[in-house]
Amino acid sequence: MPVNARDRLLANAEELFYAEGIRAVGIERILAQSGVGRASLYRHFPSKDDLVVAVLEARDRRWRNWLAERVEALGGHPLAVFDALAERFAHNDFRGCAFINTMIESADPDSPAHRVAAAHKEHVVDYLEQLLTGADVPEPALQARQFALLMDGAIVTALRERTPAPADRARRLAETLLAAGSPAP
C-alpha cells in the first residue's frame, strides 16, 4: 500500500472503479478503503471527475507498458498480444477493459473520462501497427485495426463467458488473418 494519501487514493479508486464501475462507487467508499480524510481528497483532486481522469491516465500508462513487456517476453510476435490477454482473462478479478467500460459508462464522447479512454484505445492501435510493421506484415495500418477489433471482441466475450477461452479463439482468427494476407501479394 502506497504511503502518500494521493497514491493510496489512486490505487483504491482504481480498484473500486474497475470492480464496480465509476458511478457505482461513491466518494465515501474510496475514502473509507483508502483511510484518507475527506479534505485530503479534495486537496489533491478538485472533483471526483478529476480523480477519475487521473486514475485512467495512470492505468493507461501501466497497461500499455505491461502489454509491451509481456509481448516482448513472449517472443515479440504480434500474435503474442492474445497470449498476454489470456493471462489477464484468467485472473478472477477480471472485469473487462477499464477503458471500454469507461466509454460505456461515461456516454458523452466529450466528457474528460471518455476522451482519456478513447485516447488509450488509439494508443493501443498505434502500438499494434508498430508491432505488425516490425514483423513485416503487409498493410500494418489496416491489420492493426483488425487486431484491435479482435482484442476488444475477446475482452467483451471473456467478460461475458467468464473464461480465458476467447483469447485463444481471437488468436486463431488472427492467425488465419495473417495466413490469408501473406501468401497472395
Q: Contact positions toward a copy of itself, by CB under 8 A?
A: 19-21, 23-24, 95-96, 100-101, 103-105, 107, 109, 118, 121, 145-146, 148-154, 156-157, 159-160, 162, 166, 169-170, 172-173, 176-177, 179-180
Give residues 47-86 in contact with DNA (rule: CB under 7 A).
47-49
Q: Which of 1, 3, 107, 179 binds DNA (CB under 7 A)?
A: 3
How many CB atoms are located within 10 Å of the residue 62 CB? 11
Task: Give the CA distances from residue 77 to residues 5, 11, 16, 132, 137, in Å, rounded to whole numbers and listed in that order.
Answer: 40, 32, 34, 8, 11
Q: Which of 13, 16, 36, 86 binds DNA (CB under 7 A)?
A: 36
Minimal distance, residue 1 CB to DNA, in Å: 11
Q: Which of 11, 15, 33, 44 binds DNA (CB under 7 A)?
A: 44
Residue 133 is placed in which grid cell?
510493421
Distance from C-alpha of 93 to C-alpha of 40, rounded to nearest angstrom: 29
- Partner in contact with 62, chosen from DNA, a copy of itself, none, beta carbon below 5 to 8 Å by kind: none
Q: Which is nearer to DNA, 10 or 132 (CB)?
A: 10
| Dihedral over alpha carbons 94, 100, 106, 107 (to 10 degrees) | -140
- Partner in contact with 36, chosen from DNA, a copy of itself, none, beta carbon below 5 to 8 Å by kind: DNA
| 163 contacts DNA (rule: CB under 7 A) | no
Q: Which amino acid is at 7?
A: D
Buried b (16+ CB within 10 A) or exposed e, 63-89: beeebbebbeeeeeebbbbbbbbbebb
Minimal distance, residue 73 CB to a copy of itself, in Å: 25
- DSSP H or E run through 116: helix 112-134
Residue ranges binding DNA (CB under 7 A)? 3-6, 8, 25-29, 35-40, 42-44, 46-49
